[in-house]
Amino acid sequence: MDTDRTAPRPPLRHRSVLVLALLVLSPVCAEYLIGYLELVSRPVEMLVGLLVLAPLYGTVAVMIREVVRRTGRGWPAILLLSAAFGVVQAGLIDQSLFNPDFIDEPFWDEERLPTLLAGPDVSVNHALSFVAGHVIWSFAAPIAVVESCAPRYAGRPWSGRLGMSTMILLYALAVLVFFDEHTMEFMAAPAQLGASAVLALVLIAAAFAVPRRRVRRPGRVPSPWKVGGLGVILLTTFHALPPHWTGTVLKALLLVVCGGLLLRWSGRAGWGRVHVLAAAGSALVANAALSFVVEPVGEVSYPAKYAANATLLLGVLVLLAWARRRLLGAAAEAEAEAVANRPAEPSSEAPVPPAAGLTPPSAALSNGAGGGGDGQG
């Protein structure tokens, strides 16, 4: 199930920890895990960077989750809202979708130009990679992992009105900072900005038009280990495909295959939260593993870079193992509680009547206790 609205409301301290965890994990997965930033070899700057990146990415992850859980919707809504904010980020805020000089490195043109559409001046490869990257790594996977760490509260809201107002304020401030920084030397055309805004609104509308619940069908699903392994293979292949038209089309097909498999399996009765964790965890593992071969932008200290890559990969594995343990523990508790609350089944055996001439034990005890037995004179 996507939601569990009957679960108890988490205590304030638990909710605060969960919100903080999502605020931090979202930017880590979005920007640090793949290891392309120059500051990957400078741990102190990475920590300071979270003060800016958490309001830009983490607040969105928190708000998407809160809206979906409060309205009783599920993962289709999370994915569509994530896509909407991905379009907002790449098309309206930093405008990396349109800026030909967003990164002053040769690889930017190598990835952009082969699939560039001259009219809208958009690279199809960039559009697909940027939006899919935000959907998977910036928002959806962090939400799934953090919810898995607190399975009892996975379907419940974590933020109140004050919390949501704080998220909106922090996000607005981050948007102003990043927009101002990235538009000092470049501004997308009005048609490009308008098209991005319209697409984002369409995706938001679609998120609220999706039915809230689906009827589960009987059927088998792969084990969580198989789901996770397949996810690592498909997402690693997604990153490895070349940026020309053939590679871009194959990227799109991979995403369709991933989405189709998840849609099919999640509609079956055997699909559970451990499977969701496996799918989300595969995204984190794929990026953390690939970080060792990704060339960062700018000059870095490679020993420090590899140390940071190894630390992040180890952190991902530990986090996923702990989340899985929490899920299995919660499932065992739920099963034990269900067994304890199950009404006792009446015995199907008929009582055996006493043999002729014998007094039932209950009658004998009654006679002896009453003082009127034959043995007393």
- Exposure of 62 in the CB half-sphere (CA atoms within 13 A): 31
Q: What's the confidence (pLDDT) of residue 8?
A: 63
Percent of the chain with pLDDT over 90: 72
| In the predicted structure, residue 143 carries a pLDDT above the cut 60 | yes
| In the predicted structure, residue 314 carries a pLDDT above the cut 70 | yes
Q: Is the whole-model pTM more than 0.95? A: no
Note the pLDDT tens digit of each residue in 28-67.
999 999 999 888 888 899 999 999 999 999 999 999 999 9
Q: What's the confidence (pLDDT) of residue 345?
A: 61
Taking the chain, what is the end-to-end CA distance rounded to the nearest angstrom? 74
Domain edges within the chain: 12-338
For residues 128-148, give the mean pLDDT: 97
| In the predicted structure, residue 216 carries a pLDDT above the cut 70 | yes
* Least confident piece of the model among 12-21, 81-90, 313-322: 12-21
| In the predicted structure, residue 351 carries a pLDDT above the cut 70 | no
The rounded distance, in Å, linking the Cα atoms of 63 and 233 is 30
User: What is the pLDDT of the chain when averaged over all its residues?
Assistant: 88
Closest CA to 238 of 96, 137, 107: 137
pLDDT band at 335 (very low <50, low <70, confident <90, very high): confident
Q: What's the confidence (pLDDT) of residue 363?
A: 43
Enter the tokens of residue 49: 């960077």
Enter the tokens of residue 32: 């640090």
Q: What's the confidence (pLDDT) of residue 340?
A: 76
Do 72 and 6 touch, CB atoms closer than 8 A? Answer: no
Q: What's the confidence (pLDDT) of residue 331?
A: 84
For residues 313-317, give the mean pLDDT: 97
Closest CA to 282 of 240, 232, 237, 317: 232
For residues 332-358, give the mean pLDDT: 63
Neighbours of 212 (CB within 10 A): 14
Provide the phi-psi class of 366: left if phi over 0, else alpha when psi is between -120 and 50, else beta: alpha
For residues 226-236, give the mean pLDDT: 96
The secondary element (H helix, E strand) that includes residue 123 is strand 122-123
Q: What's the confidence (pLDDT) of residue 377?
A: 37
* Least confident piece of the model among 36-50, 109-123, 296-310, 330-344: 330-344
For residues 344-372, give the mean pLDDT: 48
Neighbours of 374 (CB within 10 A): 6
Do 128 and 248 touch, CB atoms closer than 8 A? Answer: yes
Q: What's the confidence (pLDDT) of residue 358?
A: 44
Note the pLDDT tens digit of each residue in 6-20.
556 778 888 899 999
For residues 354-371, give the mean pLDDT: 44
pLDDT band at 349 (very low <50, low <70, confident <90, very high): low
The per-residue DSSP string of 323-366 comes to HHHHHHHHHHHHHHHHHHHSPPPPP-SPPPPPPTT---HHHHHH
Q: How many residues does the chain have?
A: 377
| In the predicted structure, residue 260 carries a pLDDT above the cut 60 | yes
For the CA atoms of 319, 320, 322, 328, the dihedral, rounded to the nearest 10 degrees, stands at: 160
Q: What's the confidence (pLDDT) of residue 70?
A: 93
